[in-house]
Amino acid sequence: MTDFFSLLDNDVVGFDLDHTLCRYHLKETSKLIYESFAQYLVEHKGYDKDLLNLTPTTWDFCFKGLVVDLEDGNLVKLAEDGTVLRATHGTTDLSTEEIIKHYGPKREWKHFNSLNTSFARSAKYYLYDNYFDLPGALLCGRIVDMLHEWGNEVNSDFWKDMVAAIDHNYNTSAFREDAGTYFPNVKRDPGRYLQTCSESVKSWLWSMKNAGKVLLLITSSHSDYCRLICEYILGKDFEELFDVVITNALKPGFFSLKPQQRSFKNLVNDVESEDLPSLDKPGWYSQGNWMHLHELLKTMTGKPEPKVVYFGDSMRSDMFPASTFGKWETVMIVEEMEGDCVPKSDAAKSKEGQVEPQEKKGKFEESMKSPSTLSNQWGSYFVDVHRSGGKDEDSQKLTWCCHCIHKYSTMAIPSVEHIAKGKRALPSGEDKAEFPWKEDEVAQVERTTRVMDSLTKNKQSQ
């Protein structure tokens, strides 16, 4: 990450949608996602209905950045060098001795190099790096527990059932067909799961638009779900805000695949139609690739190499491919910073507890933690307290997730709200080049950068 970053230096500002522009009520959404997967496994794959029973204690296991080893049912939290900081078998903690038994005295996870260099999916492991995936980590752990109770061997076969559950709930036709559990519930009561964008975020987006920035929306969500979200969080006129909307982008392939491997498609009534050999005008498209988009951006900006910055929440789908293949600047949304490092924004505070009146909440909802806060079982998303050998003193080790944020994002912020709050309208026309950052804007950018840098300095000083 850089010491200072200005959006004004960029010609194009792009956004992911889910958990980036659109923040979710994480407690409600995570519970719904878990139940949507578990319900499918119970009803269609014959799993014990006890999978549907959750308590606040079991929910503490749900932690972003875990990797599940599909060959043995272990879940691991990795350090920046690929060593295992913490691990469980199912949901049961492995002791230091058990970790060494599994991974050797150096605690090396054997698939780290593959994951660290490509972020590609594998038949041998799965990285839980975003909130749509995250409840699956808890479900995987509980399935392994259940297999042991049944006396069954733990191997990667259970993952086939998990993939079927994911496809049943998230496939591109599920929204239109009211299939699965997830989409029907969000359609019926969007306010239970989605947070509307604050007025400061809306004003910030429009100010960039009015200042001549090209605004992009690139999401792997299908067009019908994207429309529901955007109308709810931004308003019915959201299409006027974005110059180009790309849905079902199938990231990271949108960035990593060549044009002939993934062409753009037109949309007719939310159904994909013919392939497009190139993009010749702004609009709403499906699938595609960053190279054809880049050619369109050249035309729209009148510049041979337009500067692009992209906001996203997933290292695998957004940060790594956008910076590696597209050479874009990237801003990562890291909600965990609100729990670990940065005070919550006023908007985040005001939205807490808005989902249901307190008297209507059950015991589970009252005491259930938000997935973005610290886990008693897994600790911090950014660092881990580690005691090595016979030393009496604890030391901090950076997590692999924190290392990746440093490496692949220009900047990290807890939410779009944190960078949009307090902004005045950007002037348009000839005056825009002289527009200065306000002091509080500079302070916010510097503060979020310093938060991450300080973690590195603490580690290096050990």
Q: Are 262 and 255 in contact (CB under 8 A)?
A: no
- CA gap 92, 310 in Å, rounded: 38
Nearest to 142 by CA among 123, 121, 165, 158: 158
Residue 422 CB-density burial (10 A; 0-12 exposed, 13-18 middle, 19+ buried): middle
Phi (first) and psi of residue 118, to 5 degrees: -130, -25
Nearest to 128 by CA among 411, 381, 324: 381
Q: Are 65 and 129 in contact (CB under 8 A)?
A: yes
- Count CB neighbours of 43 within 10 A: 10
Residue 231 CB-density burial (10 A; 0-12 exposed, 13-18 middle, 19+ buried): middle
Q: What does the block give as tokens for 308? A: 């692009």
- CA gap 30, 310 in Å, rounded: 25
- CA gap 51, 1 in Å, rounded: 41
Please, which residues bridge with residue 79 across strands?
A: 399
Phi (first) and psi of residue 235, to 5 degrees: 115, 165
Q: What does the block give as tokens for 2? A: 């850089």
- CA gap 268, 448 in Å, rounded: 42
Write out the DSSP string of 322-365: HHHTS--EEEEE-THHHHHTSPPPHHHHHHTT-SS-GGG--HHH
Active site residues: 16, 18
Strands 125-127 and 67-69: antiparallel
Label residues 370-383 b or e (16+ Cβ within 10 Å = b). Answer: ebbeebeebbbbbb
Cis peptide leading into 414, omega within 30 of 0? no
